[in-house]
Structure 1
Amino acid sequence: MQPVLLTTTRLSLSVPTAADVEAMTGYCQDPDLTRYVPVPVPYTEDSARFFIEKLIPAGWASDNEYNWAIRAQNGEFAGMLGARRTAPDAASFDLGLWLGAPHRGRGYATEAALVVVAWLFDENVTSRLTWEAIVGNGASIQVARKLGFRFTGTRASAGEFRDGSHPPCWHAELDAADERGANADSWQALEPA
């Protein structure tokens, strides 16, 4: 599949470019980000270039992973949002995102995720999305709740973290047929971190 440009009232979502390397590298130095997102540590400009130049194009070409740069109205790189097939030939995708510290707390994560979820479902890319966040990542919970994800429990991460471990994660899922916000009661089972 060819990369798709998506827009919201305040944001544009596009494939990151070489111009984003410096900002991406800087944001990925943040201990709050690296605690919850399995980016390489240390994260270098070479890490960002490899992600932008190799991994992202390969993901789009194979239809296994779609990644977008989240851009503010002024075009500034704010973070990343991706949807990755949960297993080769699987019908479901896992949704993940992160924002650089200066862009948090503005509703960008939810706004960007809403347009990606709509595209994935409307274009019949998938009929099911999954979500996981390392226990303690309260900001991610808020986004998943607003999107209407149904909390399914706490268990080891599906993906391997950078140290080879599978840390405890909160898990949720969202089906194309679900009404947005209809799964709010499922989050009552979540134990506070």
Structure 2
Amino acid sequence: MSEFSASYHLKTNDQQKVIDLIRASNNKGYVFPESNGWVTFLIQGPAFDIRKSIVSLNPGLLVHYSYMEDHGWELIIFEKDDIVSAYKCDWTDDLIIEKDDLDLFLLRELIMQQGNSAEDIKEIFDLVQFTGEEPPAYLIAKKLGLRYFEWLSSDNIGDGEHYENIVFVD
């Protein structure tokens, strides 16, 4: 079975901010504990759609991460409701990379804030020059300090029972 993951990550140490965001946007979802200055969350409903109601109320820096093992991956970063960095890679048929709006400076800054090396960042987003063993999407998520991203989406979380300290927002 192929992995299909899609999640949001708000740059904050305050889990309550995400709970408030979900409630204010009239959504339901799951909120993970803060880790490395990020609070991961999922919104119930179609996993790969970016919810305008979430983005329109976004209080800060928000990452939407998606990875479809046999198809591609995407990383969109919002500052409030503006897209400040966007990357999409699809290899379903032919390799198609959309990175005109990719902000490598911002990504380097976020990666270095985690104490991680940003030296090979350009190659990770190129794929043609990429030689790593892990999927590039995983490398970026780990470099950014995201803890919850693998095999994670609203389609496969069930009732959240496999995660500690997860909060369901109804």
- TM-score where L is the length of structure 2: 0.30
Bigger share in helix: 1
